[in-house]
Amino acid sequence: MKAEVMTSNDKRIGAKNFGGAYSDGRVRKYREWRGVTDTLYDYSRWLLNWVTMFRVVLSKPRNIKAMFRYRWMANYLAVPMMVDRHTQGLRGEHLRICHAEQDLIIDDVAKLLDKLFRGDRRIGNDKAFSDKVVLVDENEMQSVMMGFPTLVPLSREIASTYIPVLLNQRAALHYIDVAQEYGLAGDVCPMPEAEAGVSIDDDAPILGKCAVQCNTTCDGSLLGNGIISKRLEFEDGIPVFQLATPLRHQEDDVQEYAAQEIRNAIAFIEKETGEKWDWTHYFECAKRVNYATKCRIEWLDMNKTPYPQVFGSNLALYTETNYMAISGRIPAFEKADRKITALAEKAYKKKKMAANEYRHRAIIWGVQSHYYMDFLVWLLNCWGIVPLTDMLSMVSTKMIAETDTPENREQAIFDIAWLTENMIMRNRTHGGYKVLLDELWEFVESFNADMVILWEHMSCKALDGMHGMFEERARERGVHLVWVSHDLFDPRVISRQGVRDQINSYMRTVMQEEPVDPTLEVLNDAESW
Partner 1 sequence: MKDLKHLTWFEDLLQDANNELIVQAQREGKKCVAYVCENTPEPLLNLDGIFSARLRAPRTGSMEMATYYLTSFLCEYSRALLERAIEGGYNFADCLIAPDGCTMINRAVENMELLHTMGKDKDSFFYENMEIPMKADDNGLNLFVLQCRNHILKPLEEKFGIDCSDSAIRKSVEEHNRVCSLIRAIGEFRKGERPTITGYEFNVITLATYVAPKYLLLDKLEETLEELKTREPDEKNAFRARVLIVGSEVDDPEFVKLVEGTGAFVCADRFCYGSFPGRDCITLTDDEDALTQICRQYMYRGQCPRYMDQAKMVGRREYVKRLAEEYAADGIIYEQIKFCDPWAYERMIGSHVLHNDFGYPVLSIDRPYSTSGTGQLRTRIQAFIESIEIKKIRGGV
Q: Which residues bind partner 1 (CB under 8 A)?
A: 179, 182-185, 187-189, 196, 213, 215, 218-220, 222-227, 229-230, 233, 240, 242, 244, 246-248, 251, 253-254, 256-257, 260-261, 264, 429-430, 432-433, 437, 456, 458-459, 461-462, 464-469
Report the relative pairing of strands 480-486 and 451-457 from DSSP bridges: parallel
Which residue, 108 or 487, has its beta carbon nearer to partner 1? 487
Q: What is the DSSP letter of 307?
A: -
Which residue, 223 or 511, has its beta carbon nearer to partner 1? 223
| Distance (Å, whole) CA 208 – CA 327 | 20
Which residue, 127 or 434, has its beta carbon nearer to partner 1? 434
User: Among 262, 270, 264, which Cα is nearest to 421's?
Assistant: 262
- Hey, what's the torsion of the CAs at 177, 181, 185, 187, to 10 degrees? 20
| Distance (Å, whole) CA 391 – CA 459 | 17
Which residue, 109 or 462, has its beta carbon nearer to partner 1? 462
Q: How far is the CB of 408 from partner 1 (least distance, A)?
A: 23
User: What one-letter code names the amino acid at 463?
Assistant: L
| Distance (Å, whole) CA 335 – CA 330 | 10
Beta carbons of 198 and 161 less than 8 angstroms apart: yes
Q: How far is the CB of 477 from partner 1 (least distance, A)?
A: 15
Which residue, 310 or 494, has its beta carbon nearer to partner 1? 494
Q: What is the DSSP letter of 14?
A: T
| Distance (Å, whole) CA 443 – CA 396 | 14
Contacts of 504 (CB under 8 A, 6+ apart): 515, 521, 522
Residue 170 has φ and ψ, to the nearest 5°, of -100, 10
Q: What is the DSSP letter of 58?
A: I
| Distance (Å, whole) CA 379 – CA 453 | 10
Which residue, 436 or 449, has its beta carbon nearer to partner 1? 436
Contacts of 161 (CB under 8 A, 6+ apart): 72, 138, 171, 172, 175, 191, 194, 195, 198, 489
User: What one-letter code names the amino acid at 331?
Assistant: P
| Distance (Å, whole) CA 13 – CA 45 | 19
Number of Cβ within 10 Å of residue 126's Cβ equals 18
Q: How far is the CB of 256 from partner 1 (least distance, A)?
A: 8
Q: How far is the CB of 362 from partner 1 (least distance, A)?
A: 22
Rg (CA), the chain: 22
Q: How far is the CB of 490 from partner 1 (least distance, A)?
A: 14
Which residue, 94 or 428, has its beta carbon nearer to partner 1? 428
User: Could you tell me how many helices (H) and strands (E) the chain has, helices first?
Assistant: 22, 10
Q: How far is the CB of 431 from partner 1 (least distance, A)?
A: 10
| Distance (Å, whole) CA 259 – CA 416 | 8
Beta carbons of 270 and 276 less than 8 angstroms apart: yes
Q: How far is the CB of 128 from partner 1 (least distance, A)?
A: 27
Contacts of 18 (CB under 8 A, 6+ apart): 32, 88, 89, 381, 517, 519, 520
| Distance (Å, whole) CA 409 – CA 406 | 5
Q: How far is the CB of 135 from partner 1 (least distance, A)?
A: 15
Which residue, 189 or 344, has its beta carbon nearer to partner 1? 189
Which residue, 6 or 134, has its beta carbon nearer to partner 1? 134
Measured in whole angstroms, how far is the alpha carbon of residue 87 from the centre of its chain?
Answer: 16
First to last CA, the chain: 38
Q: How far is the CB of 182 from partner 1 (least distance, A)?
A: 6
Which residue, 82 or 425, has its beta carbon nearer to partner 1? 425
Q: How far is the CB of 203 from partner 1 (least distance, A)?
A: 18
Q: How far is the CB of 253 from partner 1 (least distance, A)?
A: 5
Q: How far is the CB of 396 from partner 1 (least distance, A)?
A: 19
Q: How far is the CB of 487 from partner 1 (least distance, A)?
A: 11
Which residue, 117 or 268, has its beta carbon nearer to partner 1? 268
User: What one-letter code names the amino acid at 37?
Assistant: T
Which residue, 27 or 458, has its beta carbon nearer to partner 1? 458
User: What one-letter code names the amino acid at 255?
Assistant: Q
Which residue, 125 or 250, has its beta carbon nearer to partner 1? 250
